[in-house]
């Protein structure tokens, strides 16, 4: 496990999107590259600020190394 507080920002906010760094408890699919996010790895969970329960209940999930491209392209 990497000390996340030093290497990677825990929360990123850009244009109303809030990305929080979390650890995967099960396998998810990255919404940017399509590859799996394996359990016990870090990933960003992205919600839309002020979008209501739909954004919180069904957030986008991306790898740590995919977050920059995801935020540049606007996500899905």
Single pTM value for the model: 0.81
CB 57 within 8 A of CB 47: no
Q: What confidence tens digit (pLDDT) does each residue in 39-73 have?
A: 999 999 998 877 666 667 889 999 999 999 998 88
Mean pLDDT of 12-41: 93
DSSP-assigned states of every residue in the chain: ---HHHHS-SEEEETTEEEEEEE-SS-EE-TTT--EE-TT-EEEEEEETT--HHHHHS-EEEEGGGHHHHHHHT--
Phi-psi region of 16 (alpha: psi -120 to 50; beta: other; left: phi over 0): left
Going from the N-terminus, what domains does the chain have, and what CATH number goes with each?
A: 4-73 (3.30.1740)
């Amino acid at each position: 496990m990497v000390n996340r507080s030093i290497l990677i920002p825990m929360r990123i906010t850009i244009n109303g999107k809030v990305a929080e760094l979390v650890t995967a408890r099960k396998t998810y699919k990255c919404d940017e590259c399509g590859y799996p996010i394996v359990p016990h790895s870090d990933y960003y969970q992205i919600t839309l600020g002020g979008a209501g329960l739909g954004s919180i209940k069904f957030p986008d999930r991306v790898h740590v190394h995919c977050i920059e491209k995801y935020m540049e392209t606007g996500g899905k």
